[in-house]
Amino acid sequence: MRCLAAVIRGRTGISYQARGPQLAQQLMTEILNTDYKDQGPSPVFGLESGESEVNRLDFDDVDDFNGWTKSPPQHRNGNPVANSTDWQRDVTVQWVDPSDPSTPSGSDQDLKRITVTVRYNGSVVMQLFALCGSKPSP
């Protein structure tokens, strides 16, 4: 019986190790498929007027995700991700210095660092980082 319990614990640990990266990658892909910044007349860092934290359907640029957190994780439309009751995802977006992307910047220098953190029962399981740069004007 002890051997069986050890096998079950081992498989459970492996499934958590696989689930964390999957949840992080899904959200990071969604973020990276949005624009660098809002295309409106007066873009702001973060949510623009009319955008809601309830679901991410209105998130149209990278920095809309800054400060977004959900437990349990949700799909873009606000529906919960199946079998993820004890999981949480958080996002941080920062302007960074292009010569040193590990250094936050107080102003937009055409580069943002995105951090997606995945937690299971409050413990960090996965952190995924990406850089997103603005596209040159045509």
pLDDT at res. 127: 95
User: In this predicted model, what pLDDT tens digit does every residue of 49-80 receive, in sequence order?
Assistant: 777 777 788 888 999 999 999 999 999 888 89
Burial class (CB in 10 A: 0-12, 13-18, 19+), 58: middle
The structure tokens listed for 33 are 């498929």
Q: Where are the beta strands (DSSP E) in 7-86?
A: 69-70
Sign of CA dihedral 71, 77, 79, 82: negative
pLDDT at res. 56: 86
Which portions of the chain are predicted below pLDDT 50? 1, 3-4, 6-14
pLDDT at res. 49: 78
Nearest to 66 by CA among 40, 87, 95, 88: 95
pLDDT at res. 137: 54
Query: The whole model's pTM is what?
Result: 0.84
What are the sequence ranges of the domains in the chain? Answer: 2-133
